Each structure stands twice: as structure tokens, then as C-alpha cells.
Amino acid sequence: MDYALTGVYDMILLDIMLPKRDGISVLREIRQHHLTTPVIMLTAKGETEDKINGLDSGADDYLAKPFATEELLARLRALGRRPEQLLDSGLLSAGNMRLQPNTLLLSTAQKTVKLTAKEYQIMELLMRRQGMITSKDTILRKIWGLEAEVDEHSVETYISFLRKKMALIDANTLIRVERGIGYLLCKEDG
């Protein structure tokens, strides 16, 4: 549950039979936190009513054991092709800022600034994780990937660029640093 609530995963494979609690209750809690990460339920329970219960609890797909690895991979690819759910017709918002997908524009009611592709990706990640601290390591993994030879200074540089652009549009939101932990997107008074 703790891992799921970080919001850093692109997909979650969740077994119904877990050691301390069942996967259905974990799934319901994930959805109560408004996380839209796609979830595939994996289970030995393959009855129709079990599948209905899993899907009605918020699963995006349900795969009964035993299954072929190729089928799981195909289902993962299919879920990966689905467009992400965005707020208000595709806009993400934080305070008075709006991030417009496909245009790389960050705006307030009066002003707009164009972001670079990396700036956009970082801002999108921070907006999707509003109220949660996002570590430099998470930003590196999600934006540059696991194999990239990029260090934490790159994250600091892009955060600096974003702060300057947020100031240009008079954003009432800021990127606060939590020393030794990461970054938090929050309102100026928060």
C-alpha cells in the first residue's frame, strides 16, 4: 500500500491473496486516494463473481492464474496504450496555474509561458503528486529513466528553471524543497 500511494508507478500488478490483507481492500484504498494508476488483479480466483468484484472495486483488468506470461505482457501493453485521465478536459491545475498537455504551456489567467519537454514532464509529475513530496530519485527515474546517466544536479537545474517560469506568470504556487527528502508543489501559504 505504501508503495502504491507514492504515485510513481505506471502500472500495478496486485494479487488478491496477500499475507496481511486482501488485494481487494488494498485496491479500494488505492482508489479512495484518487490514484488512477492502472491495476491488473492477479489471482487464483477465476470465478465470474470474483472477476466482477475485482473490476467493480477499481481494477482495470483481471487475470486468473495460471496464465501465460505472453498474455500478461499483452495486457500490460494494452493498458499502457490507454490515455491517462486528466483533469478538466486535459488540463492539470495547481493553485492558479494550468498545465496544457500537448502544447507545453503553463499559464495563469493573465500570463502564459512555454516549457521545454523536460520542464513539462517534471511539472506534470509534480502536479499529479500535489501535496506529496517527490524525491529527486523519483524524478530521475520517471523523467530520465533507470538507465540514464543523469545526476541529481540536473533535477535541481530544471527545478530552478521551473521556479523562474512560475514567477514569470505570477503563479501562487511554488516548488518547495524538503531538505534531504525532495520537492513539494504547494500554494505559497502552504
- CATH number for the domain including 136? 1.10.10.10
Strands 39-43 and 61-64: parallel
* The model's pTM: 0.59
CA distance 42 to 60: 11
Cα→Cα distances 56→47, 60, 82, 95, 137, Å: 14, 9, 19, 33, 34
**Does residue 87 belong to any structural domain of this protein?**
no
Residue by residue, pLDDT tens for the chain (190 residues) are: 877 877 777 889 998 888 888 888 998 888 887 777 889 998 887 778 878 888 888 888 898 888 899 999 998 888 877 655 433 345 788 999 999 877 889 999 999 999 998 999 899 899 988 888 999 988 988 888 777 788 888 999 999 999 999 999 999 999 999 888 899 998 876 5
Last residue of a domain, which of 81, 111, 142? 81
**Does residue 44 belong to any structural domain of this protein?**
yes
Residue 106 φ then ψ, to 5°: -115, 130
Residue 33 φ then ψ, to 5°: -85, 10
Cell numbers found for residue 123 = 511539472
For the chain, the domain total comes to 2
Domain that holds residue 64: 2-81
- Say yes or no: 69 and 119 in one domain: no
- Say yes or no: 96 and 77 in one domain: no
